[in-house]
A = this chain, B = another copy of it.
Amino acid sequence: MIDIPTAARQARTAAHSLAVAAGDMKNAALAAIADALWQKRAAIEAANREDLQRSEAENLAAPLLKRLVFDEAKIADSVQGLRALIGLPEPVGRVLEETELDEGLMLSRITCPIGVIGVIFESRPDALVQISALCLKSGNAVLLKGGSEAARTNRILADIIAAATVAAGVAPGWIHLLETRDDVAEMLKLDDLIDLVIPRGSNEFVRYIMDTSRIPVMGHADGICHLYIDAAADAAMALEVTEDSKCQYVAVCNALETLLVHAAAAPVFLPRLHERLAQRGVELRGCERTRKLIPVAAATDADWSTEYLDLVLAIRVVDSLDEAVTHINRYGSGHTDGIVTGDAAAAEKFLNAVDSGSVFWNASTRFADGFRYGLGAEVGISTSKLHARGPVGLDGLLSYKWQLRGSGQTVAPYAGGQRKFTHRRIEKRG
């Protein structure tokens, strides 16, 4: 094994090659990964069985064991994902804008890769295939660290991907698999070699990374998502949307954690909600006004700032849309927040005033997801306001550069007033 700084330096050199790699070569390399994964599926499944047996012996929780499975069906899904990625247009070198600064002096803004990406991902081995494929398509080198439960599966997948792509002409060293948490800690120090870290692990781990590294981080720590049931909400719709947001999958970042209910809606809505969510086994915690309407435990101030990721829901009665917005902007994590209302003007006010990556009207918070948004594969969900926000697809792995093409122009005549800029905007082609 080479050490992490050496791996990162190799990745940096490889990234410079990948940045100018032809789209056809990158697509051929993606096809080579797909072929190799399918050919070697028996060996991959064998490695995965070892991971499963070891993890079972170590009493890994059942949902995590399920995520760890990488069988023939999952391999076929990954191969299909790779074929879909090949079909996407070349993301690098796209002209974003063009301006003629003066006759014969043409400025273009062009997409380019970010460089070297460090990705720390959860136990699903298919994430390794998806992330490395996205990085390759977008011309980025990648250092990967998966869950230790999937160590053998990740190792064989990374080896297969490295061999297949290098044989197809990709610069060696563009992909490295890190093995330990110490490797990650070392990687997080290399802010001169690594351009972006994407952590997809537990909240605690994401926060640790945000706190310790100087490398920019794309991702989210908390997902404290809200629904606000407006005075003008249809009660049946509000019940449906609340139940789906809370219960459809509780352990994920876009699940509902706090429900805000307008005082005018609460007397009818809350008893019905109480009955409905009891059937789903949801524990409710309410503010004082909530507890006058339904018999639930008291919510403390800490509840407004807690991401339960469990069958627990905090409820607060508010007197106005403004109060709901203020609560969300204060306690929310900028992930996903929604309003249920029949009042279009109230909805528009909410959509504009709530300062979150995704803001919904009459729809479940669970829709906040790259696949559901039609972005194709998802890199992650960002609660940062810079670069990429909300669900992030291939675009989040791209930067841009300015290219200026001249014929010997100097600044002196413009500074001296002898020449003037035309700044003629060129219409986008295609």
Residues of A near any B CB (own CB < 8 A): 16, 19-20, 93, 99, 101, 105, 107, 112, 114-115, 195-196, 210-211, 214, 216, 218, 234, 237, 240-241, 243-244, 248-249, 325, 329, 338, 340, 347, 349, 351-353, 355-364, 366-368, 372-374, 384-387, 389-391, 399-412, 414-415, 421, 423, 425
Contacts and interface: CB of A to CB of B under 8 A. Distances in A.
Given A372-B101, A372-B421, A414-B372, A363 B403 contact: no
A269 to B, nearest CB: 14
A325 B17 CA distance: 11
B352 A385 contact: no
A45 to B, nearest CB: 26
B352 A93 contact: yes
A79 to B, nearest CB: 21
Contact of A408 (B112, B114, B237): B237
Judged by DSSP, the binding face of A is: mixed
Given A20-B353, A363-B404, A385-B114, A374 B99 contact: yes
Contacts of A196: 385-386
B107 A373 contact: yes
A366 B413 CA distance: 12
B401 A389 contact: yes
B411 A359 contact: no
Given A107-B373, A114-B386, A390-B402, A408 B359 contact: no
A385 B193 CA distance: 13
A211 to B, nearest CB: 7
A386 B217 CA distance: 10
Given A20-B353, A244-B410, A408-B241, A363 B105 contact: yes
Contact of A411 (B107, B366, B405, B425): B366
A403 B372 contact: no
Contacts of A364: 409-411
